[in-house]
Chain A
Amino acid sequence: MSSIAEELAKKQKEISVSEFFERNRQILGFDSQVKSLIMGVKEAVDNSLDACEEAMILPDVGVQIERVDKDEYKVTVEDNGPGIMKKAIPNVFGRLLYGSRFHAVRQSRGQQGIGISATVMFGQITTGKATRVRSKVAQEETAWELEIIINTKKNMPEVLKQDPVIWDGKEHGTKIEFYMNGRYLQGKQSVMEYLRQTAIVNPHARFTFIDPEGRRIVFERAHEQLPPATKEIKPHPDGLELGTLMNMAKETKLKTLTKFFQNDFSRISDRLAKEICDKAMISTEKNPGSLSLEESKRLITAIGQVKIMAPQNDCLSPIGEGLIRKGLKNVLVEQRPEFYAHPVTRDPKVNAGNPFLVEVGIVYGGDLPKDQPVQILRFANRVPLLYQQGACAITKSIESTDWRRYGLEQRGGNGIPFGPAIILVHVASTKIPFTSEAKEAIANIPDIQAEIELALKICGRSLKTHLNKKETKSRTRAKFDIVQIILPLIAQKSAKIVNKPVPALSGTITKIMNVVWIDDAVVYEKGKHKVRVTLYNYTPKGQKINIHMVVPKDSFDYTGLQFFPAEVKDDGKITWELPTIPSTHKVDINFSLKGLDKEAYDDNEIYFSGIDPVMVIGADLLPGDWDVKRLEVTETAPAAVEEEEEEVDYDEQKEALNDD
């Protein structure tokens, strides 16, 4: 009789990967009924989007959830991807950790090929039903339909049934149907919310969702271009671990250290490879296969001492400033937000050899709730993160930013701010450091958090600028009302009563205003952005002023101009030197921008020069760095226009007269 220890050892061996996950399903995120359903949809949709993008197809993804029984749902996800060859189908859907992406250094949604097969397995465990996959590749006449279950002991797929089928009107694509126990809910953590957020960060995709009550919701495609394909890159030396280096050295086919560094890593030049070897005091000609542990350690130290270029960023797929705005607008139309802050896409940085970049977008106002915490939309590699908000580096970064400086309410200057806003944060990386295998929250890596905070601040500044502008506008608007509407009426009425001609108003108007007021607007019409900048000279004297604006590159339309700019720079900076505007006269600068998407331009950036800044309302003084770099709006509070009150304002007396 064998010993108990032997028995256990035998058993242990038998635990396959599938079995391990079956016993620890919460690791994959299938830990509650509500969550399971979302996870199932998420894994299938992620796969569809990745497949479409790899094949350069604009994704068209359909999701349907039907209720089969009290706790049992049928999930169908269909895409227009390239399809999967019949012989690969069983492994793709019926084998955990199968897939090409596992070893690649590139940004992708799934990152590890564990998702869809885990879904298949979860469905199988909870309902006992097989998964049906139908797929068609363009070069084949028919589609194949397979019914698959997973042999959890062996981590191998078992095909129960396979038939060729005619797929009407379908050139290529994949459809997966599985059953699982779950619970369908609506709200912040729901299939609907997952799809909505996915649509925001994937404006090139179209999503159709049919919910269990048969309602059909479509998120239309907002952008007809695929994001640029991401490339696989070789490991970047930053953050390289000793074990990885030794493994790579053992496996390389190259015979010298310099060649090994140059070819098997990214961003190492011949010169840099030599420098590393010199610093480690190892011959550049040494065979990597013969490195000792001690030598490897020295190499790691040396790598840390040389300056290595950041990894190339074409392995990352940022959504991009334009598309963040477009995606948000496309999905948030109903909330009618008043402002979309200029989104921020940061340059890639490196964490432990993996490039990452951070993007932030802020939406403000409209029908968004004013008295609640802001809504946080978290994304990792274009995938929404719905769970574990509190544990996520994105949330932590938002909490540690002082939002009071950017116009949101926040008690004590930390924690989640309150106000009518949505904050979107996207972290893209070849390897996102998640807190767990369920990929629900990004781990708190200081470098990543610092980048997120920086991006939040830049975007926050854009929000603050908007709020300042709005505030100034409303104050000036009130004065404008006085001089343009109320005062003329007072003049007319008084003239009528005393039976005299209506008096001229200019003297009074300039005394009330005594500013040059700049008002602007932009509308999108017939494929062009029409911009109007109006300058009202409400001062007692003629004023000469220069106006400077920043518009997208190459968009300025030279036709139909009344005031020709004095200068138009390549980077979109335009300067007008306007003729003297007589007192109480106005001047309109009208021009068009052509060839831009509607969303690409919706807020004028206006500066002035050549005049005392206290005389101008409605634009900012030209910053000193205008000619140096891309403009960053400096945070100056609008100049206070306090008038000296030589007398008490009769109508501003707070005391109520009716208290006796």
Chain B
Amino acid sequence: MTDETDRDAVKELYKIASDIYDQIDSGKIPKMVLPLRTKSNIRFDPKHGVWKYGKATGARTAKKTNGALMLLRTMYTLELIEDMIKQKKSSTLREMYYISEGWDKAKFNSQDESNLLSEDLEIVTGCMREDFKLRPEENGASIIGNLTIEEFDRKGRTKRINCLDDVGDSGYGIPYNVEKDKVKIVESDADFIIAIETGGMFDRLVENGFAEDFNSVLVHLKGQPARSTRRFIKRLNEEMKLPVVVFTDGDPWSFRIFASVAYGAIKTAHISEYLATPTAEFIGITASDITNYELPTDKLTDMDVRALKAELNDPRFNDAFWRGEIETMLHLNKKAEQQALAKYGLDFVTDKYLPEKLGELGMLKK
């Protein structure tokens, strides 16, 4: 990171503190105004084709205990970030949470709380959390496929890696920073990217040689994908012009995984244009797959049903396809895992299911 971005970050953070200071100094109740980070406040941004925060705002005010404490935490966090920038250090989000142990009353109650605050700061300053010297824990999402990249490694060397030939069966581990100064995408002759929710299915496709046979790049999402995973998919999509398909379990939570890859997550809607790949396609498991392929299923739990109903009010799912999917799943009252395809044998997914589904999407080059 350059000194210039550091200076920008410090300037933006100073503005927050200065704003709070001035409000108190003029006898007002200090507050910070932020866009509401709720599903009712996300709007489609036609320019980028992704979902971003709308105009509705909320105030974090010292009038209430929670608000006052968050403002105090903000002050402590600003101080911490300034110190890290000065000392050229960085910390993980988890470390930041533990650092707050020494903040007495301002200590975070959970890591969710500290994560949310770091995102709030991104929103207010327009900086990225990396600019604040905050980074996520390594999440180990990985890639296998005919793709060549150059990584600027920890020893300052540039390493050229082919993600098919130079890696083991667990693939190339996506680092938390996938910006150009860290990872350069050199070349790829793959036809498409397939992003997979579960490790079990990723390994199945690896073992079955799906990357080679179908000339594809396999990306393991590892559940709800980390920012770097989404960012890397986006870069591959834009820079290598690779179409993206998303292959998940068939349950309400997997729908949300797809939404965060393709439309932008609510939590990070302030940087959706940077993380989301609007052209990504959902391949399955769809609700209709459950019937069409007669898959083994589980009954929907109460939580599943609540999640599906919430999705009916989620503007990102407000189209014919998703309404149909959600309503069908509610009607069936069933969900299925990716691995349920193993009912028909270990090769079924690569021999039959995926070719059929990819064919429907017109993605198979004969």
Q: How far is the CB of A263 from chain B (nearest CB, A)?
A: 73
A493 to B80, CA, bound (A): 11
Contact B21 A648 (CB under 8 A): no
Given A497-B78, A508-B27, A650-B59: 11 more A-B contacts, CB < 8 Å: A481-B65, A490-B62, A490-B75, A493-B75, A494-B20, A508-B28, A508-B30, A512-B62, A649-B60, A659-B256, A659-B307
Contact of A506 among B27, B36, B256 (CB under 8 A): B27
Q: Which size bracket describes the interface of A in this complex?
A: 35 or more
Chain B residues, Cβ within 8 Å of A650:
32, 34, 36, 58-61, 67
Is the CB of A5 closer than 8 A to any CB of chain B? Answer: no
| Chain B interface SS verdict (over half) | helix
A51 to B65, CA, bound (A): 62
Chain A residues, Cβ within 8 Å of B319:
none
The 7 closest A-B pairs by CB, nearest first: A507-B27, A650-B58, A493-B75, A497-B17, A503-B25, A648-B58, A660-B256
Contact A649 B64 (CB under 8 A): yes
Is the CB of A505 closer than 8 A to any CB of chain B? Answer: yes
Q: How far is the CB of A646 from chain B (nearest CB, A)?
A: 9
Known contacts being A490-B71, A508-B28, is A651 close to B224, with CB within 8 Å? Answer: no
Q: How far is the CB of B255 from chain A (nearest CB, A)?
A: 9
Contact of B68 among A482, A497, A504 (CB under 8 A): A482
Is the CB of B346 closer than 8 A to any CB of chain A? Answer: no
A398-415 residues with Cβ-Cβ distance < 8 A to B are: none
Is the CB of A655 closer than 8 A to any CB of chain B? Answer: yes
| Chain A interface SS verdict (over half) | helix
Is the CB of A643 closer than 8 A to any CB of chain B? Answer: yes
5 A-B interface contacts by CB (under 8 A)? A482-B64, A489-B106, A493-B75, A511-B29, A652-B64
A659 to B69, CA, bound (A): 24
Chain A residues, Cβ within 8 Å of B25:
503-504
A485 to B62, CA, bound (A): 12
Contact A648 B56 (CB under 8 A): yes
Q: How far is the CB of B295 from chain A (nearest CB, A)?
A: 24
A69-86 residues with Cβ-Cβ distance < 8 A to B are: none
A454-493 residues with Cβ-Cβ distance < 8 A to B are: 478-479, 481-482, 485-487, 489-491, 493
Is the CB of A1 closer than 8 A to any CB of chain B? Answer: no
Residue on A nearest B56 in the bound complex, by CB: A648
A498 to B75, CA, bound (A): 11
Contact B266 A660 (CB under 8 A): yes
Q: How far is the CB of B147 from chain A (nearest CB, A)?
A: 28
Contact A657 B63 (CB under 8 A): no
Known contacts being A512-B63, A657-B267, A659-B307, is A487 close to B68, with CB within 8 Å? Answer: yes
Residue on B nearest A643 in the bound complex, by CB: B63
A507 to B29, CA, bound (A): 8
Q: How far is the CB of B132 from chain A (nearest CB, A)?
A: 14
Q: How far is the CB of A474 from chain B (nearest CB, A)?
A: 11
Q: How far is the CB of A256 from chain B (nearest CB, A)?
A: 81
Q: How far is the CB of A345 from chain B (nearest CB, A)?
A: 43
Residue on B nearest A657 in the bound complex, by CB: B267
Chain B residues, Cβ within 8 Å of A495:
21
B58-113 residues with Cβ-Cβ distance < 8 A to A are: 58-72, 75-76, 78-79, 82, 105-106, 112
Q: How many A-B residue pairs have CB under 8 A?
A: 139
Q: How far is the CB of A191 from chain B (nearest CB, A)?
A: 50
Is the CB of B216 closer than 8 A to any CB of chain A? Answer: no
A495 to B79, CA, bound (A): 11
Contact A660 B224 (CB under 8 A): yes
Chain A residues, Cβ within 8 Å of B66:
651-652
A280 to B23, CA, bound (A): 88
A619-660 residues with Cβ-Cβ distance < 8 A to B are: 643, 647-653, 655, 657-660
Residues of A within 8 A of B (CB): 478-479, 481-482, 485-487, 489-491, 493-498, 500, 503-508, 511-512, 643, 647-653, 655, 657-660
Is the CB of B259 closer than 8 A to any CB of chain A? Answer: yes
Contact B310 A486 (CB under 8 A): no
Chain A residues, Cβ within 8 Å of B260:
660
Chain B residues, Cβ within 8 Å of A490:
20, 24, 30, 62, 68, 71-72, 75
Contact A493 B24 (CB under 8 A): no
Contact of B72 among A493, A498, A649, A652 (CB under 8 A): A493
Chain A residues, Cβ within 8 Å of B67:
649-651
Known contacts being A486-B68, A490-B30, A650-B34, is A508 close to B24, with CB within 8 Å? Answer: yes
Contact A655 B112 (CB under 8 A): no
Contact A497 B75 (CB under 8 A): yes
A658 to B253, CA, bound (A): 11
Chain A residues, Cβ within 8 Å of B24:
487, 490-491, 494, 503, 505, 508
Known contacts being A649-B64, A653-B36, is A498 close to B29, with CB within 8 Å? Answer: no
Chain B residues, Cβ within 8 Å of A481:
65
Chain A residues, Cβ within 8 Å of B227:
none
Contact A498 B34 (CB under 8 A): no
A309 to B64, CA, bound (A): 60
Contact A647 B57 (CB under 8 A): yes
Chain A residues, Cβ within 8 Å of B291:
none
Contact of B79 among A493, A657, A659 (CB under 8 A): A493
Q: How far is the CB of A479 from chain B (nearest CB, A)?
A: 8
Contact B310 A659 (CB under 8 A): yes
Contact of B17 among A478, A494, A658 (CB under 8 A): A494
Q: How far is the CB of B79 from chain A (nearest CB, A)?
A: 6
Contact A497 B79 (CB under 8 A): yes
Q: How far is the CB of A289 from chain B (nearest CB, A)?
A: 83
Chain B residues, Cβ within 8 Å of A647:
33, 57-59
Chain B residues, Cβ within 8 Å of A485:
105
Contact B14 A486 (CB under 8 A): no
A658 to B267, CA, bound (A): 7
Q: How far is the CB of A490 from chain B (nearest CB, A)?
A: 5
Contact B29 A658 (CB under 8 A): no
Q: How far is the CB of A129 from chain B (nearest CB, A)?
A: 67
With most chain A CB atoms within 10 A of its CB, the pick from B21, B64, B260 is: B21
With most chain A CB atoms within 10 A of its CB, the pick from B70, B259, B266 is: B266
Known contacts being A507-B28, A511-B27, A660-B267, is A648 close to B310, with CB within 8 Å? Answer: no
Is the CB of B116 closer than 8 A to any CB of chain A? Answer: yes
Q: How far is the CB of A451 from chain B (nearest CB, A)?
A: 46
